[in-house]
Amino acid sequence: MLMTKDEMSDPSIVPEWLAREYKHFHKIVTNKTFPCTFGMAGEKKNELRYSYITHNDWSTLPKTLEEFIALFDSTKPLIRHGFFLFVEPEREEKTLEYYREYFWRILQFLHEQDDKPWPKDYPKDPDHHLWNFIFSEEPFFIFGNTPAYKQRKTRDLGNSLILGFQPRRIFEGLEGTTKGGIMSREKVRARVEKWDQLPKHPNISHYGDPEHREWKQFFIGDDAKPIEGECPFQHKQM
């Protein structure tokens, strides 16, 4: 179920809706003005990987994500692979809150299915500034994209809810406190603001910033208002 871009375009392998949504995704991400230059380069170099779930079947997702993690362990030197999960589109477009709740249900499902221990050096409480989502002992930054985004157009990649998974290790050398990381983020964020015609979302920062919470960056609002309330994610009882 872990697929390349060629497989995502093959009607003998994927459902019709997936081939259609991937085509739309590819067109957006490879647009020369698309803000995320890392995503654009990854798509062009065939470094991104993909999969999908339907509303009624998420069963393949844990093994698919494990396969994606294994891809990193088998390639040296490090290639900054990204993983995009396409969710079967709704018959009618839903609200942003609907997609946000769906997003967190998927992450909760992955957590419940995970048979590996939570790494001791990562807090279990999402309200801790060093919390990160972990699956199979791999820390991930995950971001949601939906058709319900009307102002933040960089988060609208088609008719599907699409979850982007980035292993924390792809940011090695580009951390928010390094010169390279600061410059890269400033460049991308300036391009994002130009696309969205909105200032940077107030919950966007870098991992480790004591004043920010990582979970709030996973699924930002379609506005410039800080996200309030508690994280939907609940650490399972062992």
Which residue, among 155, 159, 170, 188, has the nearest Cα to 69 in the 3D structure? Answer: 170
Contacts of 34 (CB under 8 A, 6+ apart): 28, 40, 154, 191, 195
Beta bridge partners of 110: none
pLDDT tens across the length of the chain (238 residues): 999 999 999 989 999 999 999 999 999 999 988 888 888 889 999 999 999 999 999 999 999 999 999 998 887 777 778 999 999 999 999 999 999 999 999 999 999 999 999 999 999 999 999 999 999 999 999 999 999 999 999 999 999 999 999 999 887 765 445 555 556 657 777 777 777 878 888 898 888 899 999 999 999 999 999 999 999 999 998 6
Q: What is the DSSP string of 82-151?
A: EEEEEEPPPSS---HHHHHHHHHHHHHHHHHH--SPPPTTS-S-TTSTT--EEETTEEEEEEEE-TT-SS
Beta bridge partners of 167: 140
- pTM across the whole model: 0.92
pLDDT tens track for 179-199: 555 566 577 777 777 778 788
